[in-house]
């Protein structure tokens, strides 16, 4: 049980933890250690997620919505790959999970193994002088890549890793920029959401907020590979309302037309109206935006219809769930170097607390 932590220190710990889709155990253990004293119970989840509950009073509250159960969701897994075969030379051939851009993989450092132990490696590719000139500008096929773990043969490699092991990036977590206002690290999609929800849970406890409805904090698994953890979590919780906390591609970089930019760093959380898997509940979404305005919390609308998140299955669970999504704009998402603004983390956390207070908050 850990008590002396901040949102940023927890985010650093989570970012550096090994946890590609299907191998989230270490991330789940870290989250449990940080939230155990701030919830009434942690529910079993056969899928491997962490489902924490803060019991509500059941009292009615005025306002546009009065849920019996509010689900706050984020996902623990990160983009990665699985070892599918080992060559006679000791190189690992892989199957990609989660659609990483192969153009950014060559030369990247990686961890490969299981939740219990990993070894270092590096993505390798055919040398440039062996690639035909007409093919040099084309994106690489995943079959053209391999992972080099420093083994001299298949037998040597099999002493370190096995077919079916998982892998993901190795990357430092750093602050940089003016006043160290930016963060670079791997897996900020969606360890950022995990850190925010852990902090929100602690604030509900420390501020002695007695919610009128049950609050469920769902740290789901396998979002990057089929959103399966959110589907089963929502079925178990059966919420009336759900808010997904995510990271989303920002696109606010040179050479990108303004109308194609999803969101901008430093302008607060991006509230989605629609993406490729969900049309979000408009009255609920408008109410969240209104809450941000009235509380003077920086917030923006996600401007480009792209991607998807846990809401894809949550909103279709049982008889339907009214969903919203609040995302942190992130540059270079699904790479080893996600970049986010610290002020956006603060704004998202403030908005989450404002929504809980207005939607179902009641002081002891």
Q: What is the CATH number of the domain that holds 268?
A: 3.40.630.10
Residues 24 and 126 in one domain: no
CA 113/CA 165 separation, integer angstroms: 5
Residues 43 and 87 in one domain: no
pLDDT in 10s for each residue of the chain, 364 residues? 677 899 999 999 999 999 999 999 999 999 999 999 999 999 999 999 999 999 988 766 555 556 789 999 999 999 999 999 999 999 999 988 776 667 778 889 999 999 889 999 999 876 554 455 555 556 667 777 899 999 999 999 999 999 999 999 999 999 999 999 999 999 999 999 999 999 999 999 998 888 888 999 999 999 988 888 999 999 999 999 999 999 998 866 655 666 666 789 999 999 999 998 999 999 999 999 999 999 999 999 998 787 789 999 999 999 999 999 999 999 999 999 999 999 999 999 999 999 998 887 654 4
Tell me, yes or no, whether 176 lies in a domain. Answer: no
From 73, 74, 354, select the one nearest 187 (Cα to Cα). 74
Question: How many structural domains does the chain have?
Answer: 2
Residues spanned by the domain of 128 = 80-169
CA 85/CA 165 separation, integer angstroms: 10
Q: ∠ CA(320), CA(325), CA(331), 5° rounding?
A: 145
From 94, 46, 36, select the one nearest 232 (Cα to Cα). 46
The DSSP call for residue 34 is H
Residues 246 and 281 in one domain: yes
Residues 283 and 164 in one domain: no
User: What is residue 225's predicted lDDT score, i.e. its pLDDT?
Assistant: 85
Residues 129 and 198 in one domain: no
CATH number of the domain enclosing 150:
2.40.30.40
Residues 66 and 162 in one domain: no
Residues 342 and 207 in one domain: yes
Residues 139 and 256 in one domain: no
Q: Is 223 a catalytic residue?
A: yes
Task: Please say which residue of 114, 136, 169 terminates a domain.
Answer: 169
Which of 12, 13, 24, 223 is flagged as catalytic?
A: 223
Task: Please say which residue of 169, 196, 214 terminates a domain.
Answer: 169
């Amino acid at each position: 049980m850990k008590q002396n932590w901040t949102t940023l220190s927890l985010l650093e710990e989570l970012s550096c933890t090994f946890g590609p889709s299907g191998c989230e155990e270490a991330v789940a253990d870290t989250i449990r250690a940080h939230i155990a004293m701030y919830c009434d119970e942690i529910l079993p989840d056969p899928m491997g997620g962490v489902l924490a509950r803060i019991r509500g009073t059941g009292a009615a509250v005025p306002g546009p919505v009065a849920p019996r159960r509010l689900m706050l969701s984020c996902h623990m897994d990160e983009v990665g790959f699985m070892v599918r075969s080992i060559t006679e030379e000791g190189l690992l051939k892989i199957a990609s999970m989660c659609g990483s851009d192969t153009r950014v993989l060559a030369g990247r450092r990686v961890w490969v193994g299981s939740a219990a132990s990993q070894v270092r490696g590096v993505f390798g590719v055919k040398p440039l002088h062996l690639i035909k000139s007409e093919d040099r500008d084309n994106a690489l096929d995943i079959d053209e890549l391999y992972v080099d773990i420093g083994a001299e043969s298949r037998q040597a490699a099999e002493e370190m890793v096995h077919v079916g092991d998982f892998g993901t990036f190795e990357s430092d977590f750093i602050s940089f920029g003016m006043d160290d206002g930016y963060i670079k690290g791997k897996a900020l999609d969606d360890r950022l959401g995990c850190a925010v929800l852990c902090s929100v849970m602690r604030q509900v406890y420390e501020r002695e907020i007695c919610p009128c409805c049950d609050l469920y904090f769902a740290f789901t698994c396998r979002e990057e590979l089929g959103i399966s953890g959110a589907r089963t979590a929502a079925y178990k919780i059966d919420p009336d309302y759900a808010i997904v906390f995510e990271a989303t591609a920002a696109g606010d970089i040179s050479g990108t037309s303004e109308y194609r930019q999803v969101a901008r760093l430093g302008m607060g959380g991006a509230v989605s109206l629609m993406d490729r898997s969900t049309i979000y509940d408009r009255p609920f979404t408008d109410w969240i935006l209104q809450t941000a305005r009235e509380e003077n919390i920086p917030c923006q609308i996600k401007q480009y219809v792209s991607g998807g998140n846990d809401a894809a299955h949550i909103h279709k669970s049982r008889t339907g769930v009214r969903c919203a999504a609040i995302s942190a704009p992130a540059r270079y998402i699904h790479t080893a170097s996600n970049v986010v603004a610290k002020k956006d983390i603060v704004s998202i956390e403030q908005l989450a607390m404002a929504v809980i207070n207005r939607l179902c908050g009641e002081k002891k």
